[in-house]
């Protein structure tokens, strides 16, 4: 495994990490979740990603049980939670980035994960209903109280991230250290263009999500519709409809042919492509089977096959390179 600094922090995060969205406490049995964490940890993964909303708290509960059973040294891993959506409650006080919910969400996540502090705590989405000052102060105070080590954002605009930094500077508070955006071959604008300045100015770290675009970039949907995947989970029809579209599959078929020429499997090519971006601190992997994770965890080994020439060819096939503004 290789490790990166998370943005300008001194925290060393593994370049590949493991997330639990849709899998832990939902799609997979708890013993499979434990196998996945074992495989990841044995490969040097030190970051496990979670959120209050994942399976409405159940994902954190399952991860907490595994962490307790394994009894790994607390200084050997990084664990996160994210607040905003709540853990299922529908009352107005049970969500958002206001002080009440952030404090309560942090306490609840620590309890479910069975840890004394969260290494990373994310604001899962921006909250138009809460002044940014309140959110920054709340996160700063959680850090001062020793309940959180680093705080960050997820799917915030560059402007919103900078507003948080301006507030932090004005009051001498700790600002956000990292952002969790979607990033993969089919979804590039935020990471490649929108944040391009703030990597340099505030030293933003990124923990990127859905590197396989929910699995379609593995190539397994190219010609067939395999069952028992996340797209067959009841209630996730929206995810299937957004992803299993002919336009995307057409591109992925061409990419799969190219991957074959290179002698790299399609999942590894897609992950290695994300790793090539120097502004990506860690790629959060998702898996519903041990074999999937065993495959993607070896993606670092093929990054050196992605030469400039190969990247250019990939760019040609993708045909979606985001443009930087020229003014
Ligand atoms: P991916 O896009 O990589 O999708 C993972 C899924 O792809 C797996 O669960 C599996 O699905 C399939 N897959 C994985 N490896 C293989 C393989 N080798 N061959 C074939 N299929 C494979 O990542 P996720 O969408 O799961 O996101 C990763 C993490 O990012 C999440 O767990 C979460 O922690 C975080 N996240 C954060 C969000 C945010 O808003 N901050 C939003 C979404 C995710 P299947 O069971 O269908 O085979």
pLDDT of 35-58, one tens digit each?
Answer: 999 999 999 999 999 999 999 999
Phi and psi for 138 in degrees, rounded to 5?
A: -65, -45
Residues spanned by the domain of 9: 3-214+274-288
Query: Given a cut of 80, is residue 12 above it in pLDDT?
Result: yes
Residue 267 domain flag: no
Q: Is the dihedral of CA 158, 163, 166, 172 positive or negative?
A: negative
Structural domain contains residue 205: yes
Instruction: State the pLDDT at residue 79.
Output: 98
What gap in Å lies between CA 265 and CA 217, rounded to an integer?
Answer: 11
For the CA of 230, the closest atom of ligand 1 is: 47
Using the structure block, give the residue that is written with the tokens 């003014």: 327
Is 282 within a domain? yes
Parallel, antiparallel or unpaired: strands 148-153 and 205-208: unpaired
How far is 70 from 247, CA to CA, in rounded Å?
44
Is the pLDDT at 327 greater than 80, yes or no?
Answer: no
In which band, very low, low, confident or very high, does the pLDDT at 8 lie, cut at 50, 70 and 90? very high
Q: Is the CB of 267 under 6 A from ligand 1?
A: yes
For the Cβ of 218 lying below 6 angstroms from any atom of ligand 1, the answer is yes
pLDDT in tens, 133-186: 999 999 999 999 999 999 999 999 999 999 999 999 999 999 999 999 999 999
How many independent structural domains does the chain possess? 1
**Per-residue model confidence (pLDDT) at position 324:** 87
Inside any domain, residue 323: no
Ligand 1 pocket member 219 (CB < 6 A): no
Measured from the CA of 291, which atom of ligand 1 is nearest? 18
Q: In terms of residues, how long is the chain? A: 327
Of residues 325 and 197, the one with the higher pLDDT is 197
Q: What is the reported pLDDT for 325?
A: 83
- The rounded mean pLDDT for the chain is 97
Residues with a catalytic annotation lie at 54
Does position 320 have pLDDT exceeding 80, yes or no? yes
Q: What integer pLDDT is reported at residue 70 of this predicted model?
A: 97
**Per-residue pLDDT, 326:** 79
Q: How far is the CA of 327 from the centre of ligand 1 (A)?
A: 37
The alpha carbon of 141 and the centre of ligand 1 are apart by a number of angstroms equal to 32
Mean pLDDT, rounded, for 207-222: 98
Q: List, for residues 245-271, the tens digit of each pLDDT value.
A: 999 999 999 999 999 999 999 999 999
Lowest mean pLDDT among 16-30, 218-232, 299-313: 218-232
Asked if the structure places residue 209 within a domain, the reply is yes
pTM, to two decimals: 0.98
Average the pLDDT over each of 79-88, 201-210, 219-228, 255-264 and give the range with the smallest value: 219-228
From CA 40, how far away is CA 50, in angstroms rounded?
Answer: 15
Q: Is residue 148 in some structural domain?
A: yes
Ligand 1: centre distance to CA 285 (Å) = 6
In this structure, is residue 58 part of a structural domain?
yes
**Residue 86 maps to a domain:** yes
- Residue 17 CB–ligand 1 contact under 6 Å: no
The answer, yes or no, to whether any atom of ligand 1 lies below 6 A from the CB of 77, is: no
CATH number at residue 181: 3.20.20.100
Assess whether pLDDT exceeds 80 at residue 234.
Answer: yes
- Cα(230) to ligand 1 centroid in Å equals 9
297 lines ligand 1 (CB under 6 A): no
pLDDT band at 225; cut points 50, 70, 90: confident
């Amino acid at each position: 495994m290789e490790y990166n600094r998370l943005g300008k922090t001194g925290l060393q995060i593994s370049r590949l990490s493991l997330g639990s969205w849709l899998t832990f406490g939902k799609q997979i049995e708890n013993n499979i979740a434990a196998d996945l964490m074992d495989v990841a940890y044995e490969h040097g993964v030190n970051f496990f990603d979670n959120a209050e909303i994942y399976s409405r708290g159940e994902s954190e509960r399952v991860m907490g049980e595994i962490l307790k059973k394994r009894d790994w040294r607390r200084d050997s891993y990084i664990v996160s939670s994210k607040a905003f959506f709540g853990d299922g409650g529908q009352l107005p006080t049970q969500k958002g980035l206001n002080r009440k919910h952030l404090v309560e969400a942090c306490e609840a996540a620590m309890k479910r994960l069975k840890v004394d502090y969260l290494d990373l705590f994310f604001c899962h989405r921006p909250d138009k209903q809460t002044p940014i000052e309140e959110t920054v102060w709340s996160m700063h105070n959680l850090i001062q109280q020793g309940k959180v080590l680093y705080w960050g954002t997820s799917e915030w605009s560059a402007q919103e991230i900078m507003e948080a930094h301006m507030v932090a500077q004005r009051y001498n508070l700790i600002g956000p250290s990292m952002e969790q955006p979607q990033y993969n071959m089919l979804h590039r604008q935020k990471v490649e263009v929108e944040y391009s300045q703030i990597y340099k100015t505030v030293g933003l770290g990124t923990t990127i999500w859905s590197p396989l675009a929910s699995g379609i970039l593995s190539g397994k949907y190219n010609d067939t519709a395999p069952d028992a995947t996340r797209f067959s989970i009841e209630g996730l029809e929206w995810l299937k409809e957004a992803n299993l579209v002919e336009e995307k599959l057409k591109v992925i078929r061409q990419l799969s042919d190219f991957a074959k020429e290179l002698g790299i499997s399609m999942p590894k090519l897609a992950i290695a492509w994300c790793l090539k971006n120097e502004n990506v601190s860690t790629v959060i992997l998702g898996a519903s089977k041990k074999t999937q994770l065993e495959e993607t965890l070896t993606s670092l080994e093929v990054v050196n096959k992605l030469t400039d020439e190969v990247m250019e060819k990939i760019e040609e096939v993708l045909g979606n390179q985001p443009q930087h503004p020229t003014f």
